Each structure stands twice: as C-alpha cells, then as structure tokens.
C-alpha cells in the first residue's frame, strides 16, 4: 500500500499528528527546537545513529500510518537538515510498501515545509511507542560528568553555551523524560523554553507529591522546590504561567470538596442554632478546613500558615510577577520570609489564630513556589546573595533573543491552555492513586550515591575556590534540590508504568537526568549570585555597584573595624558582606591595614 502523498499546504491546515500514548487522546503542539549549536548537533546525531541502529536490529516499522511517516521526516529535517535524509531511508525501509524514490520526494517536501514545529523529540517518541529503548545509561557514567566550571565530558551531551549566554539542559534529555514531562517539553519552541517548561512542571508538581519522601542527610524530605525564572522584559518568561494549569485540576477538586463540606456544615449549623435553645450544652459543628492547593501570595502571614495547616501542611505559591511576593514580604502583615525559609527544610512553623487565640504548630510544612520576574525584581525579594532565601531557590536566567514569534501559528481545534489542562488531568490520575496509598520512600542506589557525592564534592571545592564561603550554601542546597528532582522524576514514572510499589528506587535514567539539570542550574545560580553579590569588587570605581561605592565613600580616611561595621549596618549591608568588601579592597590596593583592627584609604 502506497503512503499518502504529502501536501505542505494541507499540513498547514491539519497541524501535527496526535500522540497516541495517553487516553483520552490529545493533540500535541510541539514547537521548533534550535539545533544551531555545532556541538549539540554532533551529540544529537550520535544519539540518532545509535537509536537507528537499535530499530534496524529489531526490524521495527515505526512509520506505520502516513502521519507518523511525515512527522518522522519533519523531525529529521529539523534536527539535521539534509544530513537526516539517510536516516529517513533507513527508518522507512521497514514499511512493506517502501519505495526509495517516493521516500526521497517525501523528504524533499519536508525540507521545503520547514517542519511547522515538529522536533527530533518525535523520533524518540515514535521509537518508544514501538517498544524501542531510548535510554543510553551505559554512555552516561560518573566519569562523564562535566566539571562545575561548565566543561563537558559527556560525549557532547551537554551544550557549551556561547559567550554571554546561559547553557541549557533540555536537549540532553530527549527520550529520557517520563511521559507526562515529555508531553510538557514537546510544546516548547526552543531549548530555553523547554528548560523553563520542564522546571516549571517539576516545581508545580513538587507541591502535589506529599505521599513521596526520601531520607537526605538523615532527615525526612519531600519533593518541594522553589523556582525563580528571571529574564529581561519580553524575553519569554511569561510562558511559565502555562505550568500553573498542570496543578489546576487538583486545586479545583479541593475547592469543590470544600464547597461540598461547607454546604453540609451550613446545614448542621442551622440545626445546631435551632436545637441549642433546648439543649445549651450541645456542641456546635466544626467548620471544615479551607481546602486548596494554590495559595495567593498576596496574603497575610497568618492566612498563609492557616491555609497550609488546613491542607495538611502542603501548598503551592505560583506568581508570575516576583515583586508581588517582595511587596508582601516588605509589609508588616505579610512578612513570612522566615516561614518560607523554614518550609524549604520542613522545619516547624508556629502561629496564633486571631479568631480563637489558638496556638497552631505546623510540624512539617511542605511548601513549593514558582516565581518569575526581572533581575531587579529578584533583588527586591532577596536583597543580598547571603540572605538564606537565595540558596533555597532554583534560579534560571533566561537569555534574551531578538526574534519575532509567529503569534498566529497554532494547532487546529486546540490551544496551549487546553493542552496543558489535559496534561494536568493526566497527572491528577497519578495524584489520586498516590493519595490512596501509604507514604512511599524514595532512594538512590549505592552507585548513584557515589556519583552524587563525587560531583558535589568537586563542585564545592571548585566554587569555594572561586567565590569563597558565600556560595557554599547554594552549592549544598543544590545537592538537596537534585535529590528532590530525581524523586519527582521517579514518581512521574509511576504514571507510565501504572505500578503500585512500596519503595521507589531511582532509575539510572532519571538520576542522570537530574544530574544533567543540576549541572546547568549551578551555572545559572552563579549568574544570579554575581549580580546580587556585586562580585566585581576588583573593578575600577566607576564600574562598582552603587552600594559598594556608597560604602567605600562613607568610610573616613582612617577607621576601625567597629567603625566600618557601624557604617555597613546603617547602609543595610550584612556584616559578612562588609568584611568581604574590606578584604577585597585590601587585596586590590584601595585600603591598607595600619594594624590589627585599623585601616586607611590609599590615595
């Protein structure tokens, strides 16, 4: 049987084929991923070659149906251009009606149509759909981990960013993500966009996995993450808002449950009000807890803690404008910054309810947060890199790109909002299944633990050598964040397998994915750290930050330790930061130490 002829105009009308791996079947809207980076292209072609060899070894036809054959052509032209033609033939020849000339013509048409959003992820999806393994765990060992300075030893699996840009990780995860997360990533329009959507999904879903935990540093920890995506205005960080929809079905179910309980409460309260006249000792009905998942950031500290308490200690804060939370923290009624810091480590939070003066203690809060904003908005929320809140966040610095997006390109009969809603309902199934069973303990294998310690021991030494002790808190907490990411990935695998397990052991594929993400995140953390800590102390005065310059100008010609600490306190500069400034200025020759505890400015 001859495959249907391809018409580019018809493709524009129809859009990409639906992915059949979920029920109910939902349309996908993948966007173009850039393969412009040479090292990325070589690494990807190596993966395509190995995957093609596996398909050839089994003689599997992954092109059954015209839509899949067409999408395979789009995937290869997008990633490899003309270099993908040989793979198209090799993968098409297992179709019973394969014709070399027809396949050549088809590939020519795909080249001219420019794909319309289909990326190489489709190839991995088709292979996985047909039972072909898309994992290469033996090729990603601890010996191949890139060093913390960003050099890559993973056979090209991690992109080396061009000067002035930040690295990405999503291209190294093709074919390695759990199904739900892969559906999220396939809607990206660039590697950076895929990174943001993956991180947004991980942080959002981290608030919904309260039945999964692990033991880290001999303490019980849950998957909760704090994420801050930062970028200049109009750089694309607004796409993060799509990830809120991934948890919306759970939030809606909880709100509906609350309304039902309130209706029942009102009935019981009315009966109580009628009966209490005859029976004064009758106990009033108890008002139901305020059930919700997504907590408004613009709330008083007591309200936030009360909502957490009503929901078993768990909740999600999702704000696309980071200064919303910063403004709340700056107010008298809403400064729950300390609660934020405690919740990251599930440390107890106590408060008093004004309504009945009841003392309430949250023994193990599990709060997740997803924020976005400009770099200036970060400094409003976290004024200094030495603030404990800084090291608790995942930071992703989105590069600004001068490109115009086709705002009218879409998949027929659906929108991105609807696609993410459908993925959210898919996750709801997993959430409900986990809620019905006891807590599930997650753990790494002994080999994974060795790889983990090897990487972070090296990272700690290297970053300490560059930045000193101020960055160590971020490096160490990134270790915990990596553990939590691996935990989330492993939990999402349960949706793929449908298994009911009593213990959750991390798969090598998910561990390596978590480490690949972490190796990029540490670079982004350093970028934000440099901006917040004004790490340009050795530069000429004209290039120093305003705060440093103000501090230096405020110092008298000769001064003591006590004097500079008093001036620093008046300017809102923490003592460790002030001491670091003084030490750096001594090294650069701006200051001279006269004797112990006394300094002078150099002319």
Instruction: Tell me how far apart the alpha carbons of residues 39 and 52 are, in angstroms, rounded to a whole number.
Output: 20
Counted domains in the chain? 2
Whether 76 maps to a domain, the answer reads yes
pLDDT at 543 over 80: no
Mean pLDDT, all residues of the chain: 80
User: 599 - beta bridge partners?
Assistant: 559, 593
Instruction: Tell me how far apart the alpha carbons of residues 382 and 370 are, in angstroms, rounded to a whole number.
Output: 15
pLDDT at 145 over 70: no
Inter-residue contact 554 to 582 (CB < 8 Å): no
User: Which one, of 85, 77, 153, lies nearest residue 116 by Cα?
Assistant: 77
Last residue of a domain, one of 66, 100, 134: 134
Instruction: Tell me how far apart the alpha carbons of residues 118 and 188 are, in angstroms, rounded to a whole number.
Output: 10
Whether 518 maps to a domain, the answer reads no
SS3 150: coil
Instruction: Tell me how far apart the alpha carbons of residues 428 and 256 are, in angstroms, rounded to a whole number.
Output: 15
Of residues 286 and 137, which shows the higher confidence score? 286
Q: Before 24, cis peptide (omega within 30)?
A: yes
Specify the pLDDT at position 355.
63
pLDDT at 591 over 70: yes
Instruction: Tell me how far apart the alpha carbons of residues 290 and 310 are, in angstroms, rounded to a whole number.
Output: 6
Task: List the single range of 3-7, 209-213, 279-283, 398-402 with lowest mean pLDDT.
Answer: 3-7
What are the residues whose beta carbons fall under 8 Å from the beta carbon of 517, sequence distance 6 or more? 169, 173, 198, 199, 482, 485
Inter-residue contact 551 to 571 (CB < 8 Å): yes
The two tokens of residue 323 are 């200064």
Residue 366's φ and ψ, nearest 5 degrees, are -130, 85
How far out from the chain centre does Cα 384 lie?
22
Inter-residue contact 305 to 360 (CB < 8 Å): yes
Q: Give the 3-state secondary structure of 467-530.
A: HHHHHHHHHHHHHHHHHHHHHHHHHHHHHHHCCCCCEEECCHHHHHHHHHHHHHHHHHHHHHHH
Of residues 159 and 268, which shows the higher confidence score? 268
Inter-residue contact 578 to 568 (CB < 8 Å): yes
Determine what percent of the chain is predicted with pLDDT higher than 70: 80
Specify the pLDDT at position 156.
29
Q: What is the pTM of this model?
A: 0.66
- Residue reference for tokens 């193990």: 364
Inter-residue contact 209 to 437 (CB < 8 Å): no
CA R_g for the chain: 27
User: 221 - beta bridge partners?
Assistant: 214
Mind listing the pLDDT tens digit for each residue in 546-555? 567 778 888 9
Whether 576 maps to a domain, the answer reads yes
Instruction: Find the mean pLDDT for residues 135-161.
Output: 36
Specify the pLDDT at position 524.
92
Whether 313 maps to a domain, the answer reads no
| Cα torsion through 90, 91, 92, 94, rounded to 10 | 90
Whether 139 maps to a domain, the answer reads no
Instruction: Find the mean pLDDT for residues 15-27.
Output: 36
Residue 64 lies in domain: 1-134
Whether 427 maps to a domain, the answer reads no
Instruction: Tell me how far apart the alpha carbons of residues 509 and 122 are, in angstroms, rounded to a whole number.
Output: 19
Specify the pLDDT at position 63.
87
Instruction: Find the mean pLDDT for residues 500-522.
Output: 93
What band does 227 get if pLDDT is binned at 50, 70 and 90? very high
SS3 349: strand
Of residues 97 and 366, which shows the higher confidence score? 366
User: Which one, of 89, 148, 159, lies nearest residue 464 by Cα?
Assistant: 148
Inter-residue contact 315 to 367 (CB < 8 Å): yes
Whether 279 maps to a domain, the answer reads no
What band does 152 get if pLDDT is binned at 50, 70 and 90? very low
What are the residues whose beta carbons fall under 8 Å from the beta carbon of 178, sequence distance 6 or more? 489, 492, 493, 495, 496, 510
Inter-residue contact 399 to 192 (CB < 8 Å): yes
Inter-residue contact 551 to 573 (CB < 8 Å): yes
Specify the pLDDT at position 345.
92
Of residues 147 and 380, which shows the higher confidence score? 380
Identity of the highest mean pLDDT range in 28-42, 219-233, 405-419: 219-233
SS3 294: strand
Last residue of a domain, one of 99, 115, 134: 134
Last residue of a domain, one of 104, 134, 164: 134
Instruction: Tell me how far apart the alpha carbons of residues 509 and 582 are, in angstroms, rounded to a whole number.
Output: 47
SS3 362: strand
Q: 100-113 and 85-92 are packed helices; what angle lies between their axes, rounded to 10 degrees?
A: 130
Side-chain-facing half-sphere of 271: CA atoms under 13 Å: 10
Which CATH number covers residue 576?
A: 1.10.10.10
What band does 43 get if pLDDT is binned at 50, 70 and 90? low
Whether 112 maps to a domain, the answer reads yes
Of residues 384 and 62, which shows the higher confidence score? 62
Instruction: Tell me how far apart the alpha carbons of residues 256 and 579 are, in angstroms, rounded to a whole number.
Output: 54
The two tokens of residue 213 are 């935990």
């Amino acid at each position: 049987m001859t495959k249907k002829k391809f018409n580019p105009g018809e493709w524009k009308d129809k859009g990409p084929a639906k992915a059949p791996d979920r029920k109910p079947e939902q349309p996908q809207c993948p966007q173009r991923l850039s393969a412009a980076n040479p090292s990325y292209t070589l690494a990807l072609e190596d993966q395509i070659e190995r995957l093609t060899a596996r398909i050839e070894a089994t003689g599997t036809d992954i092109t059954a149906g015209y839509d899949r054959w067409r999408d395979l052509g789009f995937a290869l032209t997008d990633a490899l251009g003309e270099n993908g033609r040989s793979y198209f033939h090799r993968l098409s020849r297992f179709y019973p009606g394969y014709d070399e000339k027809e396949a050549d013509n088809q590939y020519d048409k795909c080249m001219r149509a420019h794909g319309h959003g289909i990326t190489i992820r489709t190839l991995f999806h088709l292979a996985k759909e047909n039972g072909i393994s898309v994992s290469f765990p033996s090729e990603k060992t601890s010996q191949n981990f890139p060093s913390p300075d960003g050099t890559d030893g993973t056979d090209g699996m991690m992109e080396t960013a061009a000067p002035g840009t930040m690295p990405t990780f999503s291209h190294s995860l093709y074919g390695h993500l759990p199904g739900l997360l892969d559906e999220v990533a396939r809607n990206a329009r660039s590697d950076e966009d895929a990174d943001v959507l993956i991180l947004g999904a991980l942080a959002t879903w981290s608030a919904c996995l309260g039945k999964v935990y692990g033991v880290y540093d001999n303490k019980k920890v849950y998957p909760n993450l704090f994420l801050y995506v930062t970028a200049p205005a109009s750089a694309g960080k607004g796409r993060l808002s799509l990830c809120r929809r991934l948890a919306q079905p759970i939030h809606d179910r909880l709100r509906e449950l609350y309304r039902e309980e309130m209706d029942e409460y009102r009935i019981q309260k009315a009966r109580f009000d009628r009966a209490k006249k005859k029976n004064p000792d009758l106990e009033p009905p108890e008002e139901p807890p305020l059930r919700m998942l997504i907590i408004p950031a613009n709330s008083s500290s007591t309200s936030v803690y009360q909502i957490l308490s009503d929901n078993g200690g768990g909740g999600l804060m999702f704000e696309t404008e980071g200064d919303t939370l910063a403004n709340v923290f700056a107010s008298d009624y809403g400064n729950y910054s300390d609660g934020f810091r405690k919740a990251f480590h599930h440390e107890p939070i106590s408060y008093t309810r004004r309504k009945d003066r009841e003392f309430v203690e949250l023994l193990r809060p599990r709060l997740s947060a997803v924020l976005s904003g400009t770099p200036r908005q970060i400094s409003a929320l976290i004024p200094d890199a030495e603030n404990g809140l800084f090291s608790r966040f995942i930071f992703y610095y989105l590069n600004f790109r001068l490109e115009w997006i086709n705002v009218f390109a879409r998949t027929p009969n659906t929108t991105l909002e609807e696609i993410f809603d459908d993925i959210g309902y898919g996750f709801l199934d997993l959430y409900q299944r986990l809620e019905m069973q006891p807590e599930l303990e997650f753990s790494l294998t002994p080999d994974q633990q060795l790889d983990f310690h090897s990487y972070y021991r090296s990272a700690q030494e290297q970053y300490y050598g560059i930045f000193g002790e101020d960055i160590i808190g971020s490096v160490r907490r990134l270790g915990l964040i990596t553990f939590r990411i691996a935990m989330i990935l492993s939990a999402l695998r349960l949706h793929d397998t449908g298994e009911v397990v009593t213990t959750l052991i991390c798969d090598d594929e998910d561990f390596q994915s978590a480490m690949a993400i972490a190796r990029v995140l540490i670079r982004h953390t350093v970028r934000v750290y440099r901006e917040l800590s004004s790490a340009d102390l050795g530069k000429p005065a004209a290039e120093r930050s305003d705060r440093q310059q103000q501090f230096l100008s405020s110092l008298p010609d000769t001064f003591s330790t006590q004097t500079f600490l008093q001036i620093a306190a008046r300017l809102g500069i923490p003592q460790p930061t002030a001491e670091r400034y003084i030490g750096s200025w001594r090294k650069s020759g701006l200051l001279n130490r006269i004797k112990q505890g006394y300094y002078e400015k150099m002319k």
